[in-house]
Amino acid sequence: MVVLLNSMTELESEMKKLFPFFLVLIAGCSSDPVNMDEVLFERAGQYITDNNYSSFFFFNLKVYNGPAYTLHKNGKKKEEGKLKNGFQSGLWTAWDDEGNKWFSGAYEHGKEHGKWVGWHPNGNKKYEGIYENGFQAGKWIYYNEAGKKNLEEIYFSCTEECADSHYKMDCPRMGKVKESKKF
């Protein structure tokens, strides 16, 4: 019985040591979306909380993690998605000031990366394509307001051989149109 009580006291002691860690973990990862314009500061594409703001950028250690959104001046939602380590990450969706879906696309570390789709105000698709590290890459298809394909462009994608030629630097050809075809 004494051994059991002794181990319970040790367990309580360990739990007390871990409590602050769990408290910070729960408080640091918000589940309620925050209005980025009111609550966060943007510094070089990274969003930090206002309770740790300093005019010296390297002192801003508290980055935001969790769902976020921005609003148009008329109060309607403009963009919505998640921030990871202060950067836009994952799927983001945007609407125009009348509430029509404008675009939907993925971010990785604050840069456009992955499939993107845009829409005209009437709801018809406007464009679709892929971003790589913030640059348009591969095939992009553009549509007129009636939804008919009117332009197809192929953007340069950096190959392994190309990457070797500009070691650890951004490819100077990324985001440039390689071919264009009108319909």
In a domain, 37, yes or no: no
Task: Pick the more confident residue, 41 or 145.
Answer: 145
**Residue type at 29?**
C
* CA gap 171, 158 in Å, rounded: 7
Contact 88, 108 (CB under 8 A): no
In a domain, 178, yes or no: yes
Q: Beta-carbon neighbour count of residue 177 at 10 Å?
A: 11
Average pLDDT across the chain, whole number:
84
In a domain, 127, yes or no: yes
**Residue type at 96?**
D
In a domain, 52, yes or no: no
Is the confidence at residue 83, as pLDDT, over 50? yes
* CA gap 163, 95 in Å, rounded: 36
Using a cut of 0.85, tell me whether the model's pTM lies above it: no
In a domain, 92, yes or no: no
Task: Give the residue numbers spanning the domain of 6.
Answer: 1-29
In a domain, 146, yes or no: yes
- Total number of domains constituting the chain: 2
Q: What is the CATH number of the domain that holds 155?
A: 2.20.110.10
Task: Pick the more confident residue, 52 or 27.
Answer: 52
Is the confidence at residue 85, as pLDDT, over 60? yes
In a domain, 128, yes or no: yes
In a domain, 47, yes or no: no
Is the confidence at residue 60, as pLDDT, over 60? no
Which pair of tokens denotes residue 169? Answer: 């630097």
* CA gap 94, 125 in Å, rounded: 14
